[in-house]
């Protein structure tokens, strides 16, 4: 696992062991090409739910996002993520005004209690075993709360074998792509 482009290109991301399913470089490149083409990462506030190694959120920072909050339930993954974020702060690419932190909590709990400024981009990359109903509940909470605003983009990764999720009212699917076993949905408020 590594950062594939931007100011931290080539930085290795440590494995956090079983229980995580890293996004492949091919999928990451396609996903971020879509976001880059729309200028969605420039000075963006990013939320990475089910962060694992933090690969998606850190890639966003590398490509121009200014703030990252990475949420992960595994204490081992959060420890690795904190070590990576510490190393990032020591890189030449780390710019004044950038911020990043990892939080050990469940994605659903974080979304439910979040109060604050909305995020520009939210990554949701849950384990494939997470049911479509649970994904839909998380999307409804995000859509109704402070975490999103008009123009916020949610990038949802699911197995291509999973049932399609129902999108909250007022949201739309702006793109959907398949990369092998992975389906990537781009949702916008």
pLDDT lower than 70: segments of the chain: 16-22
Tens of pLDDT, residue by residue over 133-156, are: 999 999 999 999 999 999 999 999
**Which two three-digit tokens encode residue 72?**
């992960």
Contact at 8 Å (CB) between 35 and 153? yes
Whether 5 contacts 93, CB under 8 Å: no
d(CA 132, CA 15): 27
The first and second tokens of residue 100, run together, are 């990043």
According to the model, what pLDDT value does residue 155 have?
97
Quote the CATH superfamily of domain 26-188.
Vaccinia Virus protein VP39 (3.40.50.150)
Domain boundaries, the chain: 26-188
Burial (0-12, 13-18, 19+ Cβ within 10 Å), 172 = exposed
**Residue 24 CB partners (closer than 8 Å, separation 6+):** 179, 180, 182
User: What is the pLDDT at residue 32?
Assistant: 94
Contacts of 170 (CB under 8 A, 6+ apart): 143, 189
The pTM of the whole model exceeds 0.85: yes
- pLDDT at residue 21, rounded to an integer: 62
Pairing assessment for the beta strands 172-179 and 182-188 based on DSSP bridges? antiparallel
d(CA 134, CA 156) in angstroms, rounded, equals 13
pLDDT of residue 57: 96
For position 88, what pLDDT does the model report? 93
How much is the pLDDT for 12?
82
Question: Can you give the pLDDT at residue 87?
Answer: 92
């Amino acid at each position: 696992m590594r950062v594939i482009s931007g100011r931290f290109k080539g930085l290795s991301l440590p494995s956090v062991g079983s229980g995580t399913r890293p996004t492949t470089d091919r999928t990451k490149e396609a996903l971020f090409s879509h976001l880059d083409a729309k200028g969605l990462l420039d000075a963006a506030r990013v939320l990475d739910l089910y962060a694992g190694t933090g690969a998606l959120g850190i890639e966003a920072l590398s490509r121009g996002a200014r703030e990252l909050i990475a949420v992960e339930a595994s204490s081992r993954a959060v420890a690795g993520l904190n070590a990576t974020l510490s190393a990032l702060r020591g890189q030449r690419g780390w710019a004044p005004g950038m911020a990043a932190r990892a939080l050990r909590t469940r994605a659903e709990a974080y979304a439910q209690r979040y109060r604050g400024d909305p995020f520009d981009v939210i990554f949701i990359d849950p384990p494939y075993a997470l049911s479509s109903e649970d994904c839909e509940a998380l999307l409804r909470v995000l859509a109704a709360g402070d975490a999103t605003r008009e123009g916020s983009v949610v990038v949802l990764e699911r197995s291509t074998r999973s049932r399609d999720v129902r999108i909250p009212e007022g949201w739309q699917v702006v793109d959907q792509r398949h990369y092998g076993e992975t389906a990537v949905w781009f949702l916008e408020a």
